[in-house]
Structure 1
Amino acid sequence: MMMRMRMKFHEQLDDLTDRLASMCHLAGEAIEVATDSLVRADLPQAELVFDLTEQIEQLHGPCEEQALALLALQAPVARDLRQVVTGVHLVSDLSRMGGLAQHVAESVRRRHPDHVASGEAEELLARMGRVAGELARGAEQVLRTHDPELAAELGRRDDELDDLHRRLLTLIQDPAWTGSITAAVDVTLLGRFYERFGDHTVVVGRRVIFLVTGEQLSP
């Protein structure tokens, strides 16, 4: 009887992990589609982002409920407890990633048919979007494998995104910048959306490291 209960518990944990990884996959797809729509000023493609983020939110509630039910009904200890608690936190992290991708799509919708950005600013944002998508794919792999080395690598990859963000801010603060105030505000916000998206993937990595090792990593 006890063995069957343990097997059922771990099956439920595996199911929770798979759902979390699916949320991360959708968030990565959303940020990539949002970036393509940004570069092309493509409204139909931007609308696809809202479909993807809706799918993320459809997983949000069941994941949270499943994790809380495991806490309440199974009273896990040690690593099992860490895995369930980590799952509760990850649901929010992954939902926020989807929300940030949606913010990019909203910018495209708001400025359509015009481009939100142009020239070097648009090029830097496109690069930030590509790196953000790669980080999301890395975070998905971390969630599926629970590999602490892959998790630590997310922080190093995020440094590249932070560097692009600094270059973007330097560009629009340069006296030679010829864009409008509206364009500067849009670009600033977009850069922040991508930078925060990357930060959340790093948090995913830190949570997995905590799950595996029990060690809390400082930011």
Structure 2
Amino acid sequence: MRTTFHQELESIDGKLIGMTQLVQSAMGRATTALLEADRTTAGEVIDDDATIDALRREIDEHVLRVLATQQPVAGDLRVLVAGLRIDRDLERMGDLARHIAEVAAEDFPHVAVPVKLRGIVHSMNRVALRMAEQAKEAIGYRDKNSAAELDREDDEMDSLQAALYRELLTTDVPVHTALELALLGRYYERYADHAVSVAESVRFETGATA
């Protein structure tokens, strides 16, 4: 029974890691579409979000099946609850990448981000991808200290978002463009927040309290 249970947990972890790779790829490709006015890539990111959603449903069903058949208790139950939390956050990360791709698709053939602001968006994407990688490692290695590391990365993302807003106040762009860029900043910031939540769920799973 215990061997079967641990095999089920390994299978769930494998799916969570795969889901993390998908949302990481989605963010990278969405940013490419945004900065290069690449409508084809934007469309691919939008379409691929259905795969991420389907994987979340698959993981949820797997967890519920294990709950029903393996009767986990204490720490084992905590691991399964964490899995449900993690796939929720990962699905939301995928949604946020899709939102960025939608902006790119809507603005085609024009580039949505003015030249002056492209460096900030590049940096936000770099931090987002790094955080997704750290979230993946937290799942794979049960790293209970990853939440603190991701908190530091999240602080950097918050600083970049603030820098974007400051630039918007001094850059001569149409109101519609300014609002769109403010939303884009929010999408990257929320993506980072959900990566932090993934690490916090891993910490919950391991029973860590600080």
Equivalence map 1:56-135=2 (5 Å): 56-135=52-131
Cα distance in 1 between the residues matched to 2:18 and 2:95:
15
TM-score (norm. length: structure 2): 0.96
Question: Does 1:6 find its partner at 2:8?
Answer: no
Cα displacement string for residues 17-69 of structure 1 (whole angstroms, at most 9, x for unaligned residues): 11011111100010011111111111111122124322212211110011112
Q: 1:155 aligns with which of 143, 151, 156?
A: 151
Cα distance in 1 between the residues matched to 2:139 and 2:111:
35
Cα distance in 2 between the residues matched to 1:83 and 1:120:
45
Q: Which moved more, 1:33-42 or 1:70-79?
A: 70-79
1:171 CA drift (Å) = 1.3
Q: 1:180 aligns with which of 153, 174, 194?
A: 174
Query: 2:46, 2:102 within 8 Å by CA — same for their partners in 1?
Result: no
AA partner of residue 26 (structure 1): L
1:106 CA drift (Å) = 0.2
Cα distance in 1 between the residues matched to 2:136 and 2:48:
16
Cα distance in 1 between the residues matched to 2:70 and 2:42:
42
AA partner of residue 175 (structure 2): I
Cα distance in 2 between the residues matched to 1:152 and 1:214:
12
AA partner of residue 15 (structure 1): S
Cα distance in 2 between the residues matched to 1:52 and 1:143:
22
Aligned equivalent of 1:169: 165
Q: 1:206 aligns with which of 197, 200, 204?
A: 200
Identical pairs, percent? 36
1:168 CA drift (Å) = 0.5
1:151 CA drift (Å) = 3.5
Query: 2:85, 2:198 within 8 Å by CA — same for their partners in 1?
Result: no
Give the ranges of 4+ consecutive aligned residues of structure 1 lying more than 6 Å apart after TM superposition. none
Cα displacement string for residues 99-128 of structure 1 (whole angstroms, at most 9, x for unaligned residues): 000000000001100111112222211210
Cα distance in 2 between the residues matched to 1:145 and 1:214:
14
Equivalenced residue count is: 210
Cα displacement string for residues 152-184 of structure 1 (whole angstroms, at most 9, x for unaligned residues): 21111111111100100111123xx20000110
TM-score (norm. length: structure 1): 0.92
1:78 CA drift (Å) = 1.8
Let me know the Cα RMSD of the aligned residues: 1.3
Q: Which has the higher contact order (CA 8 A, sep 6+)?
A: 2
Cα distance in 1 between the residues matched to 2:61 and 2:123:
36
Query: 1:100, 1:194 within 8 Å by CA — same for their partners in 2?
Result: yes
AA partner of residue 123 (structure 1): G
Query: 1:68, 1:88 within 8 Å by CA — same for their partners in 2?
Result: no
1:214 CA drift (Å) = 4.4
Aligned equivalent of 1:52: 48
AA partner of residue 200 (structure 1): H
Structure 2: runs of 5 or more not aligned: none
Cα distance in 2 between the residues matched to 1:140 and 1:53:
18
Query: 2:30, 2:45 within 8 Å by CA — same for their partners in 1?
Result: yes
Cα distance in 2 between the residues matched to 1:214 and 1:84:
16
Cα distance in 2 between the residues matched to 1:187 and 1:45:
20
